[in-house]
């Protein structure tokens, strides 16, 4: 610790370097202009070199001061970010979801949330990475999996895993509904990272004769490709319910692929009640039930 410069001097230097003016830095820090100038001089004495050139109408960095300020400003920003993750903002709830869940279910339902809870700042972290409640500062997470998820978490079931085959009307034109397994085997298929087509074709008791198909990194992209008539996609029923209701997509066969990887909303099991998070959880459950 003896190698560290005085903290007050660093704070004064950071502010003075952003404004290049002692008076403006003093206004931000809530001290006098003379106090800021003195703290910067003490820092320069500690370092043994000047950081600013004093000009009649302000300050200018020395070459050493400019490079030092970049590092000091970065360090203070890192401290602010770390503190912000530990200190929750009133009314703010950060929820971690996959990009597909965000694009195809959460965002279309957000107008209802905003209308019902205008005082809550719901923020979305859309990532394929498994976010950490502590490391990433999230309050809620939607996960596809099987309980238990851990003793420190509450798990609320949102949707059962029910995977169906869907396609645009143009793909099934000329076929009677439901489409026969033999016809499905010859249709172009849209693959995502879940790679469920082998299991689904096994369920239909047919082999794939539809060619290589299109391979995409996310289910949402497979859904978009299906909407544009590029093939048949396998998607969780709840993600395509609106598209089926609008007849933009059609469930081409009644067979459904089920499994143990259901969709859950996870929240930390804390002794302290957070009514804002509880309100968001209640909205998710009510909207999912609809």
Q: Quick one: pLDDT at residue 210?
A: 80
Q: Quick one: pLDDT at residue 91?
A: 82
As a residue count, the chain comes to 290
pTM over 0.85: no
| Averaged pLDDT, 12-21 | 93
| Averaged pLDDT, 168-183 | 91
Q: Identify which has the larger pLDDT, 82 or 202.
A: 202
Question: Which domains can be identified in the chain, with CATH numbers?
Answer: 7-86 (1.10.10.10), 92-157+263-289 (3.40.190.10), 162-258 (3.40.190.290)
**Whole-number Å distance between alpha carbons of 76 and 10:** 9
Q: Mean pLDDT lowest for which of 8-22, 216-230, 248-262, 265-279?
A: 265-279
**pLDDT > 90: percent of the chain:** 68
Tokens describing residue 216: 């995409």
Q: Tens digits of per-residue pLDDT, 34-68?
A: 999 999 999 999 999 999 999 988 899 999 999 99
**Whole-number Å distance between alpha carbons of 97 and 130:** 9
Residue closest to 68 by CA, chosen among 8, 5, 114, 24: 5
Coil vs helix vs strand at 151? coil
Label the pairing between strands 214-215 and 189-191: parallel
Tokens describing residue 233: 């996609």
**Whole-number Å distance between alpha carbons of 143 and 207:** 32
Positive/negative CA dihedral, 80, 85, 89, 94: positive
Q: What is the CA radius of gyration of the chain?
A: 28
Residue closest to 191 by CA, chosen among 173, 165, 217, 169: 217
What single DSSP character describes residue 208?
A: -
């Amino acid at each position: 610790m003896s190698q560290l410069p005085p903290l007050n001097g660093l704070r004064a230097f950071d502010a003075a370097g952003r404004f290049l003016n002692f008076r403006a830095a003093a206004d931000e820090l809530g001290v006098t202009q003379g106090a800021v100038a003195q703290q910067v001089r003490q820092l320069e004495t500690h370092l043994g070199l000047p950081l600013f050139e004093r000009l009649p109408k302000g300050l200018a960095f020395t070459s050493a001061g400019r490079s030092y300020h970049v590092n000091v400003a970065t360090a203070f920003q890192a401290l602010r970010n770390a503190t912000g993750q530990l200190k929750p903002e009133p009314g703010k709830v950060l929820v971690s979801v996959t990009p597909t869940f965000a694009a195809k279910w959460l965002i279309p339902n957000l107008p209802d949330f905003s209308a019902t809870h205008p005082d809550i700042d719901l923020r979305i972290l859309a990532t394929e990475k498994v976010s950490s409640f502590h490391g990433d500062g999230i309050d809620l997470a939607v996960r596809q999996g099987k309980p238990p998820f851990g003793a420190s978490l509450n798990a609320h079931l949102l949707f059962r895993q029910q995977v169906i085959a869907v396609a645009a009307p143009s793909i099934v034109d000329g076929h009677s509904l439901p489409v026969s397994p033999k016809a499905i085997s010859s249709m172009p298929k849209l693959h995502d990272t879940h790679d469920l087509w082998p299991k689904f074709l096994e369920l239909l008791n047919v082999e794939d004769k539809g060619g290589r198909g299109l391979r995409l990194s996310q289910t949402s992209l497979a859904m978009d490709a299906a909407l544009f008539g590029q093939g048949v996609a396998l998607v969780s029923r709840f993600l395509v319910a609106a598209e089926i209701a609008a007849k933009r997509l059609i469930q081409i066969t009644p067979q459904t692929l089920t499994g143990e990887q259901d969709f859950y909303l996870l929240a930390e099991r804390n002794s302290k009640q957070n009514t804002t998070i509880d309100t968001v959880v209640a909205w998710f459950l009510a909207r999912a039930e609809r």
